[in-house]
Amino acid sequence: MGADGAVFPYLQCVAAFRVALEAFELVLTLRQRRNFLSKKMRPEMEGLIPEEKFQKAQAYGKEKTDYGIVETAFNVTLNLVFYFTYFMPYVWDLSLKIMQFAKPEFDSSNEIIRTIVFCGVNYLVGVVTGIPFSLYFNFVIQEKYGFNRLTGLQFVKDLLLGGVVSAVIGLPAIVGLWYVIEWGGEFLWLYFWLFFVALTFFLQLIYPTVIAPLFNKFTPLEDGKLKDGINSLADGMKFPLKKIYVIDGSKRSNHSNAYLFGLFDKRIVLYDTLLEQSKGHDERILGVLCHELGHWALSHLRKTMAVALTHMLFISWLYGKTSHNVEMFQSFGFSDTPHIIGLLLFSEINAPLESILGLAMNWMSRRYEYQADKFASGMNYTNELAEALVTLHIENLSNMNPDPFYSAYHNSHPTMIERLSALGAKPKNMDLTAVSGSKETSSESAEQSQAEKKEN
């Protein structure tokens, strides 16, 4: 606090930074949008991407960009309104009234209960304000381009189940965090970091076996050529593979993917949509998995975790230095210093640093992607991986005309052309026959999706 009693304008600084950051990102987004308006395919894409797929991807990209601009403008405006109307202090006061309505003898000394109520109200506000955007994205944009497989009933189920899971995990986490802050003392930063390390590993341990199966069905991959090929690939790298699963991703979307998971028992998960899109081309799936296994062989996952934990240690130290900054609370309209509020305010003030660190993490991730591609190439999967990259781009209608500045700022992966160039892959060496898998047009795909929903 200044000599004249003035409080440092933390709130105004946070608001100014958010507006400046969003303005900068809008400039990048508009550059990318301009690229989506182009009808001309880049020369390096010719021979790789069918013309009709390119035009469809351009239209899809533009619609998603326009949607993103509107959603971001809404969220920024809403946040600014919340800042300057002191909505957070209002919700904190409302939480006390809700407590006292349920049990009149509750008062402000029951901070843990009040914190839980506050987090619950904030969660509901976030869900309610986000539902219209989620509905439009899934049932309008995704539906139009043949990706949406979500039904109204499944949407509601996911919403309710997500709330239950958040409550079951979030409630003990909030209580534990409150006690860490309450008892932390001068070593708060260290206990805070240890708490989040434990929570991170716990979630990584239970997510694949407890949480994910609540939302999707995991079926063991059937015996056959593909399974034999995957096992052979894993054995050759001494990868401790325990299970290979197929996930029913098609119950929500026609987008495709594959990933590895497991802290101890390693598992591979293939989307059923990926199997469908790569039917008759098992070598493409093996190329993708060789890339993913390359991340494991090159210790990228461990290195990324080490960087993330180091980053969290630094953030914890900063939080320990600001957790009891009374001016910070006063600037945002609070007359007291609740633990959870201090953490939320710190996250707002720390946003500029997180933006810079995010760029560094993207740079590291892109570097690892190149290395994993090189690993797969060294395992003689150059053309297979290249074919898979092209296939995934086509089937997912990924960005085929990226703006270099937008891509460098936002994307954790290099562009397809950058990866193909680094691999040294040439169209003449790739088997691009039936690369697009389905021959349906956009409207036909959407009609099939609607028919299947009615059957379900």
Active site residues: 292, 373
Token pair belonging to 227: 């399974």
**Closest listed residue to residue 292, CA positions, set 204, 383, 368:** 368
SS percent in the chain: helix, strand, coil, step 5: 70, 5, 25
| Residue listed under structure tokens 């460098």 | 408
Q: What letter does residue 137 receive in the DSSP assignment?
A: I
| Residues 399 and 314: beta-carbon distance below 8 Å | no
Token pair belonging to 75: 């969220």
- Which residues touch 266 (CB under 8 Å, ≥6 apart)? 239, 240, 241, 242, 260, 296
Rounded to an integer, what distance in angstroms lies between the CA atom of residue 171 and that of residue 159?
Answer: 18
Q: What letter does residue 243 receive in the DSSP assignment?
A: E
**Closest listed residue to residue 37, CA positions, set 368, 375, 401:** 401
Rounded to an integer, what distance in angstroms lies between the CA atom of residue 344 and that of residue 190?
Answer: 18
- Which amino acid appears at position 71 of this protein? E
Rounded to an integer, what distance in angstroms lies between the CA atom of residue 406 and that of residue 24?
Answer: 11
Give the Å distances, CA to CA, from 349 to 6, 17, 81, 123, 388.
Answer: 19, 9, 17, 21, 42
Q: Supply the Cα-derived Rg of the chain in whole angstroms.
A: 25
- Starting at the earlier edge strand, list the strands of the sheet with 266-271: 218-220, 241-247, 266-271, 258-261
Largest CA distance in the chain: 78
Strands 266-271 and 241-247: parallel
Following DSSP, what letter does each residue of 22-40 receive, concatenated?
A: HHHHHHHHHHHHHHHH--S
- 268 beta partners: 244, 260
The pair phi, psi for residue 255, each rounded to 5°, is -65, 155
Helix axes 111-136, 87-102, angle to 10 degrees: 120
Rounded to an integer, what distance in angstroms lies between the CA atom of residue 28 and that of residue 30?
Answer: 5
